[in-house]
Structure 1
Amino acid sequence: MTALADRPHMQLSEFEELARFAARTAEGLRLEFINGRLGVKAVPDGDHAEIVLWLQRVCMQHRPDLGLYAERGLKIKSYREGRAIPDASLARPGSFAGHGDWSATEAVQMAVEVTSFDRDTDRRDRREKPRAYAQTGIPVYLLIDRDSCEVTVYSEPEGDRYDKAVTVPFGKPVTLPDPVGIELDTEPLKDWVN
């Protein structure tokens, strides 16, 4: 094994500079850096935005002490430092005040991803993100999967995985466990599948 095998091909500082440049110039793209790999996400479609808005309203109704922050850049402490932009992060208001483009995850109670219709969704949202969020200790990861019309709630992070994952089809209720503590009625998600 060479010394290069243990380090990312791109340094974190190089990624952050590239991400800032892309945010200013590459309309329609968002960059992430997870497990030493550069990822590109397309800007979400209208149904995706409606799902995030719906979830914001649910959280405001049931947990007014928390805020659902859309597309907040997070520092992911996986084996190769990274950066991820969840579709939403649930945290106490003021948790990210004074932060730059990227914040530590200690205040995050739940990370949310809504699948997009792109070729990297399976790898990114279903495999890499659960591992990265668990490694960082985010208590709950909510995956709203428009491809399978299912919601998966990951909880009880332990090392590089979540010990518990509950999957239900759109239309069935699911519990977002503590520290979130919300019973989520997924029926409205059927309207934003296409």
Structure 2
Amino acid sequence: MAALPVPEHPPVRSGRLDARDVEEAFTQVSAATPEGWRVELIEGEIHVTPPANGEHEEYVSEASDQITLRRRERSVRSYTGIGLNVPGASQTGHVIPDLVVAPKGTFDNKEEWHDASAVLMVVEVTSDSTAGNDRVKKIRGYARAGIPVYLLIDREAGQATVCSEPEGDDYAKKSSYRLGLTVALPAPLGFDLETAEF
């Protein structure tokens, strides 16, 4: 593992960091992080994640392929490596889902962090280092951002959970399926995902 230079500590005002200080620290950590590592700002905390293992990427690839094959709307695309602004998860929030499903052209700009309003679904595949965020904090962030569907593929628990109908800090509907079963994706997707292929 590469050693990361420690950014200068931002000034503390009234015993707490303000949003600008957190953003500045996030920018410094992002710039110092080796290529392939993921840096996210989740509920005011900076999270640095090493590159995913092969099994993780097989799950992401399978989900992406099935979405491409089964999508009802031909203009829908699957994206990896897309940074999303998730306002409301904290004063500042930047996440990089494993997979983002959105209409073609949604991210056709030079921005690193994108508005999430056009996103139809995000997919997260758990790893030892990300499972806690994927199961709790990201559900809150994606719901607050109004993302219609969040698919959590939890390798450790052996299940897939579909979260839909965002309401405030959570999703009104959550359906869990044992991996190996068919997972029904609600509108705006409206097709089945075969998790036996994972």
TMscore range, shorter length = 0.7 to 0.9
Runs of 4+ displaced beyond 2 Å:
2-11
Quick one: distance in 1 between partners of 2:164 and 2:31?
Answer: 32
Among candidates 46, 53, 59, match of residue 61 of structure 2: 53
Do 1:7 and 1:36's aligned partners in 2 also have CA atoms closer than 8 Å?
Answer: no
- The code of the aligned residue for 1:175 comes to A
Do 2:85 and 2:93's aligned partners in 1 also have CA atoms closer than 8 Å?
Answer: yes
5+ residue gaps, structure 1, are 190-194
Q: Which has the higher helix share?
A: 1
1:179: which partner in 2?
A: 188
In percent, how many aligned pairs have the same letter? 36
Question: What TM-score comes out, normalization by structure 2 length?
Answer: 0.85
Query: Cα distance, 1:29 vs. partner?
Result: 2.1
Deviations 1:14-51 (A, max 9, x none): 413432342xxx24421100111111112111111111
Query: Cα distance, 1:9 vs. partner?
Result: 8.5
Query: Cα distance, 1:7 vs. partner?
Result: 3.6
Quick one: distance in 2 between partners of 1:144 and 1:153?
Answer: 9
- The code of the aligned residue for 1:107 comes to A
1:116: which partner in 2?
A: 127
Quick one: distance in 1 between partners of 2:109 and 2:35?
Answer: 26
Do 2:82 and 2:100's aligned partners in 1 also have CA atoms closer than 8 Å?
Answer: yes
Query: Cα distance, 1:4 vs. partner?
Result: 5.0
Deviations 1:78-100 (A, max 9, x none): 23221001001000111001141
Question: What TM-score comes out, normalization by structure 1 length?
Answer: 0.87
Quick one: distance in 1 between partners of 2:98 and 2:36?
Answer: 14
Query: Cα distance, 1:121 vs. partner?
Result: 1.9
Do 1:8 and 1:37's aligned partners in 2 also have CA atoms closer than 8 Å?
Answer: no
Larger radius of gyration: 2
5+ residue gaps, structure 2, are 1-12
- The code of the aligned residue for 1:95 comes to T
Do 1:70 and 1:88's aligned partners in 2 also have CA atoms closer than 8 Å?
Answer: yes
- The code of the aligned residue for 1:29 comes to W
- The code of the aligned residue for 2:53 comes to D
1:62: which partner in 2?
A: 70
Distance of aligned partners of 1:67 and 1:38 in 2 relative to their CA distance in 1, 3 Å threshold: same
Superposed CA RMSD:
1.9
The answer to whether residue 36 in structure 2 is matched with residue 36 in structure 1 is: no
1:192: which partner in 2?
A: none
- The code of the aligned residue for 2:51 comes to V
Quick one: distance in 1 between partners of 2:164 and 2:16?
Answer: 32
Query: Cα distance, 1:5 vs. partner?
Result: 4.7
Do 1:9 and 1:36's aligned partners in 2 also have CA atoms closer than 8 Å?
Answer: no
Quick one: distance in 2 between partners of 1:95 and 1:145?
Answer: 27
Query: Cα distance, 1:161 vs. partner?
Result: 0.6
Among candidates 51, 74, 84, match of residue 74 of structure 1: 84
Among candidates 149, 164, 168, match of residue 155 of structure 1: 164
The answer to whether residue 176 in structure 2 is matched with residue 167 in structure 1 is: yes
Do 1:139 and 1:179's aligned partners in 2 also have CA atoms closer than 8 Å?
Answer: yes
